[in-house]
Amino acid sequence: MKIGIGLPAAIPGADVRTLGQWAADSERAGFDSLGVFDRLVYDNLEPLTALAAAAARTSEVELVTTVLNVGWRNNPILLAKQLASVEQLSGGRLTAGLGLGGWPDDYTASHASRDAMATLWESTLETFRHAWSGKLSAQGGAMTQLPDDRPALLFGGLVPAAYRRAATHGQGWVAPLFGLPVLKQGVLAVHKAWQKAGKSGRPRVLTGRYFALGKEADSIADHYVHHYYGDAYFDVARADTLTSPDELREHLTALRDAGTTDVVLYPTSAGLEQVSLLAEALDTAGLRPARASASRVGRHNKGATWR
């Protein structure tokens, strides 16, 4: 299972100018990916802008959205351009997890309808394919053509249509940031959809968990989770927020055993020390990211192949 770290892009009051350093430190520490999630009416950075900033300070680590909300973004051709821009700026490292978005205030603020979502998906994906094919042109030439199957796409959602979409249009499924039973049900559903679509191999299953480490980790986690989710989802979200090496070992092992292929650990504090604290805690728990393990052994066995 690959282990990534979230960017501190959705922590109210944070000094966002440190995001580039966070990204560079995370790549140096060997994390497999840098992740962002999406919300409109909140004190956070726009996620693709955050990934573009991270791309400028890194060269190898995967950049992922878990997820980017399509439902209230009213201009699919502009979104295609933004995704293509991050893909190009990063040298082909973007994996775009896409969803609809569940916060009602985001739809209200953007004057977006929640009706006809199936039609929205089909038209949006067709727009993406057309834009990225290099066939959309005007005076001066066409939009940049991207390689086939780039950027990589994953899809979120908890209904049969979402699992079918993940199997037929993408490389896999993005699970919610909390709730192991929901993840287990989704893993079974997306594997069934994958097989029905006649695809070889196995789908990616990506999820996330929040974390806080160091002094006052529990109080920091409590404050952040309550601020973001309120009373309604506090208990279930906080139960899956990790504040020690033992909790990391327990929860990540459970995610791996449930069929997760990738996990992104999202910070609840923007302090730069969280990157090294997480790397150390994972090491203590015996759960090193794949890039970190390859780098460590590669120093002793140059030319080794890693799978």
* pLDDT at residue 131 is higher than 60: yes
Residue 267 resides in a domain = yes
Q: What percent of the chain has pLDDT over 90?
A: 91
The average pLDDT across 157-169 equals 97
Closest by Cα among 276, 273, 271, 208 to 242: 208
pLDDT of the residue at 115: 86
Please report where in the chains the tokens 């199957």 appear, as a residue: 149
Residue 306 resides in a domain = no
pLDDT band at 68, cuts 50/70/90?
very high
- Helical (H) or strand (E) element with 175: none
pLDDT band at 119, cuts 50/70/90?
confident
Q: What is the largest CA-CA distance in the chain?
A: 59
- Would you call 300 helix, strand, or coil by DSSP? helix
pTM: 0.94
CA pair distance 207, 37, nearest whole angstrom: 11
Closest by Cα among 180, 181, 186, 134 to 158: 186
pLDDT of the residue at 27: 98
pLDDT band at 116, cuts 50/70/90?
confident
Residue 105 resides in a domain = yes
Beta strands of the chain (E only): which ranges?
Answer: 2-6, 33-36, 62-69, 94-99, 137-138, 141-142, 152-156, 172-174, 204-211, 262-267
CA pair distance 34, 22, nearest whole angstrom: 10
Closest by Cα among 225, 218, 226, 269 to 15: 269
Q: What is the DSSP string of 210-226?
A: EE--STTHHHHHHHHHH
pLDDT of the residue at 269: 99
Q: CB–CB of 4/264 below 8 Å?
A: yes
In this structure, the number of other CB atoms found within 10 A of the CB of residue 188 comes to 13
pLDDT of the residue at 294: 72
The average pLDDT across 194-206 equals 98
The average pLDDT across 161-173 equals 98
pLDDT of the residue at 118: 77
- 176's tokens: 């919610």
Report CA torsion sign: 136, 137, 141, 143.
negative
pLDDT of the residue at 295: 61
Q: What's the number of domains the chain is made of?
A: 1
What are the tens digits of pLDDT across the range 73-85? 999 999 999 999 9
In this structure, the number of other CB atoms found within 10 A of the CB of residue 111 comes to 8
What are the tens digits of pLDDT across the range 1-15? 999 999 999 999 999
Chain centroid to CA 31: how far? 13
Residue 17 resides in a domain = yes
Residue 185 resides in a domain = yes
Please report where in the chains the tokens 């896999």 appear, as a residue: 172
Structural domain for 224, as ranges: 2-300
pLDDT of the residue at 303: 33
Give how far Cα 162 sits from Cα of 39, 166, 264, Å: 20, 6, 21
* pLDDT at residue 63 is higher than 60: yes
Give how far Cα 203 sits from Cα of 181, 195, 248, 292, 302, Å: 19, 10, 24, 23, 31
pLDDT of the residue at 307: 23
CATH number at residue 238: 3.20.20.30
pLDDT of the residue at 161: 96
What are the tens digits of pLDDT across the range 10-34? 999 999 999 999 999 999 999 999 9
- Would you call 149 helix, strand, or coil by DSSP? coil
Q: What percent of the chain has pLDDT over 70?
A: 96
pLDDT band at 237, cuts 50/70/90?
very high
The average pLDDT across 168-189 equals 98
Residue 137 resides in a domain = yes
Residue 307 resides in a domain = no
